[in-house]
Amino acid sequence: MATYPLASPEIVGKAGWRDYLGLCKLRVVMVMLLTLVVGMCLATPQVPPLQLLLLTNIGVGLAAASAAAVNHVLDQGIDARMARTARRPLPQGKVTPLQAIVFAAVLGVAGVAVLAVAVNPLTAWLTLGSLIGYAFVYTAFLKRATPQNIVIGGVAGAAPPLIGWVAVTGEVTADGLLLMLIIFAWTPPHFWALCIARKDDYARAGIPMLPITHGESFTRLQILLYTLLTVLLTLLPYFIGLSGLIYLACVLVIDARLVYWAWRLFSAREAADPMKMFRFSILYIMVLFAILLVDHYLKLQL
């Protein structure tokens, strides 16, 4: 099975700061922190204390970066066989597995400690559970074991808004769980669109992603069904009183666009559509949580 070339021997293990940042998946972490902040803000009529906001973001951000670094270590063999990931620091040899593990351990311990000491123990436990769920349960087992890997493993990635809610309230409630459930339902169509676009890469790496095990047609149908489920869940914040009419009006617009891309992906079979769906789904989840945030504070002023 083909692999992509490593860096020259002269730079193996000689990591710079950019290489360590490359282990952190910063773009993914930033989206997670956006949903975390929205979860915190929706949990209280007031703006959460600045110190609490900063410390929660630091703790969860460090833990998320730690999980990403562990993911790099466990997936280095897979990454070396995929064009999309072959230039990551470990396949290139710029960071050694030991360096990455030490880096991940420092980040993880520091992040969970900040949350336990400066926020509350439940927030720390939920964050630790998400770290373990993504870094070990999903990456080490589910990803290689079942085409439903992203569905089951999506629980860990969906946790930030619930963690934010718990950071403010100190308890798990139905509202916080709903925010988590929205991301949980959004994750499969988001990721399966990428899997269709990179089907050959995943097949080369031996990963049983849904388009490989069940075919593209079945995957496109599942994307459409999970998209419809996501849309239904995004309406619930209005109906349970978590959000107002501003949110409802705006979310209907972006929901319509998401359904459009899911339907087009299901029916048109254009080669460029999977990546277009994937990219729009990232914008969608960011805009969705931004709308929740804006609606929350405007609703309080009306």
User: Which tens digits make up the pLDDT trace of 248-285?
Assistant: 999 999 999 999 999 999 998 788 999 999 999 999 99
Q: Which of 135, 110, 113, 136 is nearest to 125 (CA)?
A: 113
What gap in Å lies between CA 262 and CA 180, rounded to an integer?
21
The stretch 10-14 carries a mean pLDDT of: 54
pLDDT value, residue 8: 47
Quick one: what percent of the chain has pLDDT higher than 70?
A: 94
Q: Could you tell me the pLDDT band of residue 3, with boundaries at 50, 70 and 90? A: low
Contact between 172 and 44 under an 8 Å Cβ cutoff? The reply is no
Contact 162, 172 (CB under 8 A): yes
In the prediction, which pLDDT does 14 show?
67
Residue-wise pLDDT for 30-87, tens only, equals 999 999 999 999 999 999 999 999 999 999 999 999 999 999 999 888 888 888 888 8
Mean pLDDT over residues 203-229, rounded? 93
Where is pLDDT greater, at 11 or 137? 137
pLDDT confidence bin for 296, thresholds 50/70/90: very high
Q: What is the mean pLDDT of the chain?
A: 91
